[in-house]
Amino acid sequence: MKKRIGILTSGGDCPGLNATIRGVAKACFEKFGEDNIEIVGVVDGYYGLINNETKIMKPSDFSGILTQGGTILGTKRQPYKLMQVIGEDNVDKVKNMKETYKKQKLDCLLTLGGNGTHKTSNLLSQEGLNVIGLPKTIDNDIYGTDVTFGFHTAVDTATDVIDRLHTTAASHSRILVVEIMGNKAGWLTLNAGIAGGADIIIIPEIPYDIDKVADAVMERNNAGKDFSIVAVAEGAFSKAEAEMKKKERAKKRLEAGETTATNRIARQIQEITGSEARVCVPGHMLRGGSPSAYDRILATKFGVYAASLLAEEKYGRTVAMVNGKITSNKLEDIAGKARLVDPKHQLVKTARDLGVSFGG
């Protein structure tokens, strides 16, 4: 009997999405035969599932995409917190997604995405749909897996940014504060900071004391090193802010005219130390470009494993890597949880032993 599966990519794009799509498709063609499988591409993530925007994909659609960044299916953000809320458009999003699944006569839906994507995947699974998730995010913060595809490429890119900042910082005797993506988790900043030789690393899991940050800069100055590189995760906050609720933090920053921690940190460092501080924000460059060799392999392994789950009709699960082995977790066990940096993690200890300051 011919199987018909849907694939969507949701949330922010990242390198490796197309490699994963390719891995799923090629493995399915091998397992079932090209005449026994139909792959339906859902356009723009859950938005496409809500609005029944789909396209039948041919084997040729999966050729030449291993090295391609972004996603050939497109993606839009559909916040999980609004999935079960009927807005002014009077659209029942969950009902529509279930109807699209039935209209397209899908046997299974594969969802490639991060934490929000997995929460919606679990919701659809509990609503009776056959769902298999694949963990994507440059933040590397999906619970239950040691690594997500897209992360290593983003580390490479962020490291390259920091590498380039060293030469200009040294030439101008400046403090360069680089903002790295990562709203709740500091994995990307931590890894790139160590790989790029940052002098100070500030992540959300370790709230900072600006005086300690400034002290680290002054210690370098006193040692004859007249420049410093400060790697800051975009979601970082001070120890004082750690005592506030999210809305209160946002209000305080807005009142001060500094909506990001990075800008405030740069200003405060300059005021305290007297050294010129500049901010660099690579932003979406960290998500762009071709996946690294590591991510191409990881994405392919994840895609092939998802095809195996499909063949075995093991639904309501998401692919994972645990201790170097590709496996899967129940969606209900990982949805709504985040994998954050433990302040006692070995990587943190490694950085501290090198003399890197975390400002806390």
Q: Which sequence positions are flagged as catalytic? A: 139
Residue in the block written with tokens 């300051």? 357
- Whole-angstrom distance, CA of residue 75 vs CA of residue 132: 18
Cβ pair 138, 151 in contact under 8 A = yes
Strand (E) or helix (H) holding 109:
strand 108-113
- CA-to-CA dists, residue 57 to 9, 10, 239, 309, angstroms: 15, 18, 51, 21
- CA-to-CA dists, residue 91 to 82, 86, 95, 122, 219, angstroms: 11, 6, 9, 20, 58
Among residues 202, 191, 133, which one has the least CA distance to residue 158?
A: 191
Cβ pair 214, 272 in contact under 8 A = yes
CA 194 to the chain's CA centroid = 19
- Whole-angstrom distance, CA of residue 305 vs CA of residue 322: 13
Among residues 10, 15, 68, 11, which one has the least CA distance to residue 41?
A: 10
Structure-token pair, residue 56: 């039948």
Among residues 57, 71, 58, which one has the least CA distance to residue 19?
A: 71
- Gyration radius of the chain's alpha carbons: 22
Structure-token pair, residue 10: 């949701």
Order of all β-strands in the sheet with 3-9: 54-57, 37-42, 3-9, 108-113, 131-135, 317-322, 325-330
